[in-house]
Structure 1
Amino acid sequence: MTRRPGERGELIRHGFRSPSEADEALTRVETERGMSRERILAQISRAVADPDQAVQFLARAIDRAPELVASCEDDTLLETVLIVMGASSGLAEFLLRSPESLLAMHDGVAGFDHPGRIVDRITASVREETPGAASRILTGHEARTALRQAWRRELGRIVRTDLASEEPREIVDQVAALMSTLADAVLHAALTVAREELAQIKVGPGRVRDGELDALRFGILAMGKCGAQELNIVSDVDVMFVVDVVDGTEMETARAIDVGSKLATRVMQIINEAGVEPPLWELDANLRPEGKDGALVRTPDSYLKYYERWAKNWEFQALLKARAAAGDLALGNELVERLAPLVWASAGREDFVEQTRAMRERVTDHIPRDELDVQLKLGPGGLRDIEFTVQLLQLVHGQNDETLRVRSTLGAIERLCDGGYIGRDLAERFDVGYRSLRLLEHRLQLRRLRRTHLMPREESELAVLARATRAKNSGELIRTWQRLRIEIRGLHENVFYRPLLSAVASLPEESFYLTNEQAAARLRAIGFQDTKGALTHLAKLIDGVSRGAQIHRHLLPVILLWLGQRGNPDQGLLAYRKLSEQLGDSSWYLRLLRDSNAAAERLTQLLGDSRFFANFLEVHPEAVRWLDSPTHLEPKTPEALRRELERTIRRYDDEAGMRRAIRTVRRREMLRLAIGRFLDLNSVDVTARGLAELSTEILQAGLNAIERLDDLAEVAASERPPRFAIIAMGRYGGMEQSFGSDLDVLYVADPAEDDDAERAMKAAHQLVNRLTKLLDDPRLPIELDAELRPEGKKGPLVRSLAAYTSYYESWSLGWEAQALLRARPVAGDEELGRAFMALADTIRYPAQLDARELVEIRRIKARIEAERLPRGVDPRRHLKLGPGNLSDVEWLVQCLQLQHGAEIPGLRTASTMDALQAAQDAGLITAEEHETLQTAWQLASAIRGAIFLASGKCQDVLPESMVDLEAIARVLGYRHGEGAILEDHCLAVSRRSRKVFEERFYGA
């Protein structure tokens, strides 16, 4: 047939994306059925989401369902066919299978039907009425087909009205409520069929004895969206099954549970097993106690016992939506009423916040990475963000306010607004956001009658969705959705946290009127223990009309949100207040908080998870500047530190001034290193090296300061100390220093030949005392530990190079040679330091290690394990001396160095990790053993540092308290609730390390 010019353009104007294919389909309908294309196009209204799909299915109906096409002689019926087929391929396929269902769907043109009539029609679908005889309940495939067809007819009736609406967002709640009613009706009808089918089984394990079904009370509770009467177009229906025995009957409870389980299983099969007509939806009972592992059916008493003793907080959150839906409604209502007090008391449980957070994090974690940005339900700014916030507010305030005890999300938003828990503007934005996302979800699921929450990526599908939701085009649809995501993600802080400020100050938002008691309840839900103190801090921060108070009013909802996610919100808010008061209206501070989300969030992380930072940022508040950029937190080079310290010392003429200057630099750089490590911007190795380099520059600065003081006092050369050097030992010598650890050192002097040796050594000793006093810092102690010197505490604090030589050549013990393996000159006279190291090399890298010395090393190691571990401490938890931890790795490495250092240059290093790598390279250990030992050593080092940052104290024992473990885990980047995971990991790693140690150290 020849087409008029411009017909292609006309089809495009009607919304067809493939005009050529549409033209072929329209031509066929016109040719074979005599239906003019003009008449069809006249019915392609905005309500037809996908005109291409609609006309393609209409053309297919010519062969598969000609009576369907014949019925379209009526224009309104034609419009219904096009609307339904254009919106849902699933319903279109159903109309081809069951063309007689069109008239039922077409009833939707008059508007939504009464819920009672929906229930009546679904109930009637599984009954066969025969004139003059009692009705018969259908069973088997006959019942399943009839029930599923009836559901699809009712769905078509609902969506016909929905799709034709000019404002579909406004009727989302009505659609969802009708879908829930439809689900209830299906459950009731399926239960009727299930009872009949069980009654017909006369033999076999599925048999139910006469009278048992009559003696059984059986109810179905709807949960989730169905329970809230907010069901999607296509969604799993969450349920729980409850049974009891009819009063006066002799049926035992165990038998009632058994029969009830058969009924529940059969109901699920009727709805979801394969058949002639496709299944409806999954009946999901996994929200029941113990999930998939729990009993499918329980009595009310059994449910109550479980929720009283074992239930987690998320399970109470799930019960917010519980509703008697089918079966024995009185039994279902009884169970809901008995559980209600537990639900509304759950927010008062100690672990409420932790479990609720963990559940939300688990949901987000399970989203595949490639779906995160297209998830309507679970992703950031999705439906779950709204539901989570609303449910949290309900649980917190519903303890005392019964008006909040409603099931639906939209109803709860309205009640929260009426009660003053959220502002009207925010409630309206939440309402609009929820309706908009639910509309998108409904249209996506309707498209193919499949459960999905993913926004399409294809332009063609986006265009269909845009028409289905009344958007102008796909571009507007995406812009609106993205704007919604951002807004909804931010609404949580506004809805949950901003009203707290109205409880402590007079703010313009009059629709917020939380009482102090309500504000305290909300703070407890966030995780604050001292709610009175928290309200006081908030009031102080926002009081007045200063610029700082104004900025804090805008910022505090976000700050509270972030602090609530930390381990110790009370500590964090107190420290935040002190810091803010100390810095006052400093322009840089307020500007940083206002303009840099990253800096503000990092600040709450430091203050809320670390006692060290909460206390120490008071001493150096300017460090907050560094949080805006990772480059500010990189360790300073030794050269930069040296230049700064030299300039600083030259500015002072007195010891007190020099002491303050050196102390300031050390505190500042320790803080920089600590923040960098805490935020995981610097590795354990980089941090350890940075700490060692800082200590070296501080020691040298101290010596330089003393020399300058002597110059200013014009002390004669003959009265000054001799040449002097400091040798680093232990972890400091290996550049493996950790926070709060002592600095193991040796002091060596070299009196001149013409000098009085006794006087010179006395002056050297005084130099050490002066250096110790000069570097003293009560806030951040620096402990110079010389116990590794010859003869230990009994030996002289300072020795001459000649005395060291004499001692090591004549008297040194094996442990002293071992200690020298990590010796390194760090401060003082460089030439003297090199001379000492030349001496040390002759001791620590022997040409051959005598077998007796190896036995002695093993004996000493065993003795240390037996005697030096603190009494009462589980050895496995000691990070330094415990099996498989630092000491084991270091002794094994040092043993290899003593045995092979003379012949393998790579082993001649003070670094444990470098020596371990050299041992692998030389074939002394395997790659697997290297990995095991390295992991154990680095993990123990990281935990020691984390303990210091979390508590502000130096400790070598992995704590047993879960609270302390949680704090350490937080510092190490674990999520909330993963302290036990850290503990298990640490113990497992050390076990593997110990095995390697025993095989290599004792078995060599």
Structure 2
Amino acid sequence: MTERPVTETGIFSRSGFSDPSKSAELIKTLKAEISHELLIDDLSKVADPDNALLLLVRIADQADENLNKVLKDDEVRLRLLQVLGSSTGLGEHLVSYPADVQVFFAETAISKANNRDELIAVFTKAAKTSRANLVREYRKVLLGLASRDICYKWPLRDVAAELADAADAILQSALITVVDKNPDLAKQFKLAIIAMGKAGGQELNYVSDVDVIFTAAATSGVEESTAVSAATKIATEVMQYISVANDGGGIWEVDAALRPEGKAGPRVRTVEQHVAYYQRWASTWEFQALLKARFSAGDIELGNKYLTEITPFVWQAASKENFVDDVQKMRKKVEENIDNRIGERELKLAPGGLRDVEFAVQLLQLVHGRSDLMVRSPNTLQALDQLATWGYIGRDDAATFSTAYTFLRTLEHRIQLQKLSRTHVLPEADSELRKLGRSLGFMSDSSTDLEKQWRKHQLEVRRIHEKLFYRPLLNAVARLDAGSARLTISEATSRLNALGYKDPESALRHIEALTTGVSRRAVIQKTLLPVLLSWFADGPEPDIALLSFRRLSDALGSTPWFLRLLRDESAAAELMAKLLSSSRYATDLLMSAPEAVSMLGNLEELEPRTREQHEAEMNAVIARHETAENIVSAARAFRRRELLRTATADLSGRLTTEQVGMALSNVYATVIETALKGAILVVEQERGKEVSTNMCVIAMGRFGGFELGYGSDADVMFVHEPKKGADPQDAEKCALDIANQLRTLLMQPSVDPPLEIDADL
């Protein structure tokens, strides 16, 4: 067997090049001092080897001596190639400015984040010489950041925060530059630039509009209208300076459309004018947008004044009528407006996309954050951590959401880096998916693995979004006044009296016992109780309901699923509240087996079972147990559970009177039949032989007519027939023994309600 010859194109093919022949010819034109074999090996590790090689050749054609220094250093060379393989846009910058390859030697290309104040100094100095120099310095920052991001897997949170810091620095340097050109105007006002959206949340993309709001104040002796007019001219020039694609190209769009009245409203307002608008005219979405507001540039004292005055509006928004419904409708409207040609591949807006995470997190923040300062972060991932820490979202759901959001944002970053273009659409072409997959570390079956991972996260995001975003408990909490959203002992007595609690002092003790401490359990209870107290008060016995809830919490509070069920499945919480406040009988059933509360989380679980289903379950019980006592004990526990199922379905209005009677009669019949089998087993063990008669139980009265109530005795008649060849007297005695044993088994002391057998008929 001869060894296959190694061809030049074969090396390129095995190294991941899409067009081996073209690349083999291209590498021959490279004007740089480096082993081709070494270079090909490095290129095999990048997202797009073909394009990285092409860009490298073009950079080398500029004959800059710095490139050879980079290529001689193994680590620095790989950093350069990784960026070239992931970003044509940054590669084109290096073709124009080949000396900027020196960036890859800097600490900011390896492990050191850029400092905001340092960036302001660098950008301002560059802007004083020319706008093109400012753009160049900004691109150098992106080169270093992309190097850390791609080569060293820099955390998404840090990448996005640094991009937001760079945006702040650009805004500040642009403002300084424009003010220096207009000194007379600048004397008339103070101006603050408030970052909004992703910039405000310090979660900016590589290529993104930067949303801002401008606010101004007059300087001493200047009329307010004059100051606002001057500030508007400066703000407009700042926007144009940054956005217009001339003298070095555009940096990014500055978008002030989130201001009051949107694009139709004045570009600059005073703080007082902003306050007046939000007090009277603002829509729900505007308060949601303000959650991200953060000082970015300009006069920091004025910026802080704006935030101090405006922030309270954010946390009052959830108290507005139909707030939760409005936010939910907004999300649906966004989905309906997605371009059908793009559909599900829109990473940002499509179902299962980034907006699903952001809307769910923001809705939870707006509802719970009015009374809880600990869940108010404008940053999505940090807010998600806070909501999980303080019990408003399950840890597993938060972890899944966080992982998926990080993946989707990183994928979005890689797509934007390719051409430094503002896009959120996952391409369909296999060649493009392959590059993206390789940029994320999927090196074998890149496009397939990427698509599979994306769809997995998309499904998980949609599932959790629908669970959280449409959680009915949000509506219930939002309808409470802000003071009731979290309970304080001093404020609670009057509220309890107003709700109809007869013994507020005892109720307060129960509340204090449930909510004292900083444990996750206590935190979740503090969230649930305001709503539960209102639901308890809808029933005839709120005091009993609260006491029962405390007992239930004591029994189940340490289990991982109980409070999670009530928080995440608010239909279950409301049903439990109705049960505890409306029926002592059902409450007693629940208290004797608290774990049965789990059935409240699934309405299908409340459907009465058929007689056949009951018998199948009891046959399995008989097969598992050896003694009659154990068999009947299991049957009585079964009856308790089924009584609770029926009572709960009855209280929730799911059953008619006839259906209740049928369900209860089927349960009684199944338990009596099981007890009969147990009684026969006992009698046979006592006699040391088989019983001498065949036995049956005839249902009579309401039992016979399938009309049983919850507290009914079982009216029955015992009938027997001696087996063939049996002594009639022995058979009769045997039948009496079985009947007595059956009643004894069913009346044994137990936590389960007794089943009275009445044979008087």
- Normalised to the residue count of structure 2, the TM-score between the two structures is 0.64
Counterpart for residue 447 of structure 2:
474
Which is further off, 271-280 or 298-307?
271-280
Counterpart for residue 198 of structure 2:
225
Counterpart for residue 196 of structure 1:
180
Q: Deviations over 1:249-306 (max 9, x none)?
A: 2111111111111111101111111213220111111111111111110000000011
SS of equivalent residue, structure 2 residue 213? strand
Displacement after TM superposition at 1:92 (Å)? 0.7
Counterpart for residue 299 of structure 2:
328
Taking the aligned partners of 1:301 and 1:466, their CA distance within structure 2 comes to 50
Q: How does 1:285-300 map to 2 (within 5 A)?
A: 285-300=256-271
Taking the aligned partners of 1:578 and 1:58, their CA distance within structure 2 comes to 60
Taking the aligned partners of 1:491 and 1:590, their CA distance within structure 2 comes to 33
Taking the aligned partners of 1:620 and 1:148, their CA distance within structure 2 comes to 79
Higher-Rg structure is 1
Q: Deviations over 1:699-741 (max 9, x none)?
A: xxxxxxxxxxxxxxxxxxxxxxxxxxxxxxxxxxxxxxxxxxx
The reply to whether residue 112 of structure 1 matches residue 112 of structure 2 is: yes
- Which of 184, 208, 213 pairs up with 2:168? 184
- 2:83–2:147 Cα contact (<8 Å) kept: yes
Displacement after TM superposition at 1:60 (Å)? 2.3
- Give the AA of the match of 1:377: K
- Give the AA of the match of 1:187: L
Taking the aligned partners of 1:451 and 1:77, their CA distance within structure 2 comes to 28
Distance 1:4 1:295, change over 3 A: farther
Distance 1:253 1:82, change over 3 A: same
Q: Deviations over 1:634-683 (max 9, x none)?
A: xxxxxxxxxxxxxxxxxxxxxxxxxxxxxxxxxxxxxxxxxxxxxxxxxx
- 2:209–2:252 Cα contact (<8 Å) kept: yes
Distance 1:374 1:552, change over 3 A: farther
Counterpart for residue 519 of structure 1:
528
SS of equivalent residue, structure 1 residue 127? helix
Taking the aligned partners of 1:368 and 1:57, their CA distance within structure 2 comes to 34
Taking the aligned partners of 2:246 and 2:256, their CA distance within structure 1 comes to 22
- 1:499–1:513 Cα contact (<8 Å) kept: no
- Which of 71, 74, 89 pairs up with 2:72? 74
Counterpart for residue 275 of structure 2:
304
Distance 1:515 1:348, change over 3 A: same
Distance 1:589 1:122, change over 3 A: farther
Counterpart for residue 148 of structure 2:
161
Distance 1:553 1:64, change over 3 A: same
Q: How does 1:373-772 map to 2 (within 5 A)?
A: 373-472=344-443, 473-495=446-468, 497=471, 511=520, 513-519=522-528, 533=538, 584-586=607-609
Distance 1:620 1:480, change over 3 A: farther
Displacement after TM superposition at 1:197 (Å)? 2.8
Q: Deviations over 1:422-472 (max 9, x none)?
A: 232222222212211111111111111011111111111111111111124
Taking the aligned partners of 1:522 and 1:476, their CA distance within structure 2 comes to 45
Q: How does 1:911-950 map to 2 (within 5 A)?
A: none
- 2:79–2:151 Cα contact (<8 Å) kept: no
Displacement after TM superposition at 1:85 (Å)? 1.4
Distance 1:5 1:588, change over 3 A: farther
The reply to whether residue 172 of structure 1 matches residue 156 of structure 2 is: yes
- 1:257–1:298 Cα contact (<8 Å) kept: yes
The reply to whether residue 266 of structure 1 matches residue 237 of structure 2 is: yes
Taking the aligned partners of 1:314 and 1:415, their CA distance within structure 2 comes to 22
- 1:397–1:522 Cα contact (<8 Å) kept: no
Displacement after TM superposition at 1:368 (Å)? 1.1
SS of equivalent residue, structure 1 residue 470? coil
- 2:427–2:433 Cα contact (<8 Å) kept: yes
Displacement after TM superposition at 1:317 (Å)? 1.0
- Give the AA of the match of 2:53: V
- Which of 54, 57, 63 pairs up with 1:56? 54
Percent of residue pairs bearing the same amino acid type: 35
SS of equivalent residue, structure 2 residue 113? coil
- 2:120–2:173 Cα contact (<8 Å) kept: no
- Give the AA of the match of 1:58: L
- Give the AA of the match of 1:54: A
- Give the AA of the match of 1:11: F
Unmatched segments (≥5 aa) in structure 2: 477-509, 583-598, 615-651, 661-761
Counterpart for residue 93 of structure 2:
94
- Give the AA of the match of 2:609: S
Unmatched segments (≥5 aa) in structure 1: 129-141, 200-209, 565-569, 592-613, 623-1004
RMSD value, Cα: 4.2
Displacement after TM superposition at 1:365 (Å)? 1.3
Taking the aligned partners of 2:564 and 2:65, their CA distance within structure 1 comes to 65
Counterpart for residue 696 of structure 1:
none
Taking the aligned partners of 2:288 and 2:67, their CA distance within structure 1 comes to 50
- 1:583–1:589 Cα contact (<8 Å) kept: no
- Give the AA of the match of 2:151: A
Q: Deviations over 1:201-231 (max 9, x none)?
A: xxxxxxxxx3x41231001000011101111
- 1:177–1:231 Cα contact (<8 Å) kept: yes
SS of equivalent residue, structure 1 residue 325? strand
Counterpart for residue 257 of structure 1:
228
- Which of 133, 139, 161 pairs up with 1:152? 139
Distance 1:90 1:256, change over 3 A: same
SS of equivalent residue, structure 1 residue 28? coil
Q: Deviations over 1:795-854 (max 9, x none)?
A: xxxxxxxxxxxxxxxxxxxxxxxxxxxxxxxxxxxxxxxxxxxxxxxxxxxxxxxxxxxx
Taking the aligned partners of 1:435 and 1:579, their CA distance within structure 2 comes to 32
- Give the AA of the match of 1:157: G
Taking the aligned partners of 2:565 and 2:391, their CA distance within structure 1 comes to 21
Displacement after TM superposition at 1:351 (Å)? 2.3
Counterpart for residue 829 of structure 1:
none
- 2:196–2:292 Cα contact (<8 Å) kept: yes
Which is further off, 426-435 or 555-564?
555-564
Taking the aligned partners of 2:456 and 2:266, their CA distance within structure 1 comes to 44
Taking the aligned partners of 2:210 and 2:536, their CA distance within structure 1 comes to 40
Taking the aligned partners of 2:163 and 2:262, their CA distance within structure 1 comes to 25
- 2:17–2:44 Cα contact (<8 Å) kept: no
Taking the aligned partners of 2:77 and 2:345, their CA distance within structure 1 comes to 35
Counterpart for residue 127 of structure 2:
126
SS of equivalent residue, structure 1 residue 126? helix
The reply to whether residue 284 of structure 1 matches residue 255 of structure 2 is: yes
Displacement after TM superposition at 1:325 (Å)? 0.3
- 1:119–1:181 Cα contact (<8 Å) kept: no
Displacement after TM superposition at 1:109 (Å)? 3.6
Taking the aligned partners of 2:8 and 2:604, their CA distance within structure 1 comes to 73
- 2:567–2:573 Cα contact (<8 Å) kept: no
SS of equivalent residue, structure 2 residue 296? strand
Counterpart for residue 103 of structure 1:
102
Counterpart for residue 335 of structure 2:
364
Q: Deviations over 1:508-538 (max 9, x none)?
A: xx955555552267899xxxx968659989x
- Normalised to the residue count of structure 1, the TM-score between the two structures is 0.49
Taking the aligned partners of 2:294 and 2:300, their CA distance within structure 1 comes to 9
Counterpart for residue 242 of structure 1:
215
Distance 1:33 1:518, change over 3 A: closer
Counterpart for residue 44 of structure 1:
43
Counterpart for residue 499 of structure 2:
none
- 1:317–1:391 Cα contact (<8 Å) kept: yes
Displacement after TM superposition at 1:34 (Å)? 4.8
Displacement after TM superposition at 1:235 (Å)? 0.8
Counterpart for residue 835 of structure 1:
none
SS of equivalent residue, structure 1 residue 279? coil
SS of equivalent residue, structure 1 residue 275? coil
Displacement after TM superposition at 1:621 (Å)? 8.5
- 1:222–1:324 Cα contact (<8 Å) kept: yes
Q: Deviations over 1:873-918 (max 9, x none)?
A: xxxxxxxxxxxxxxxxxxxxxxxxxxxxxxxxxxxxxxxxxxxxxx
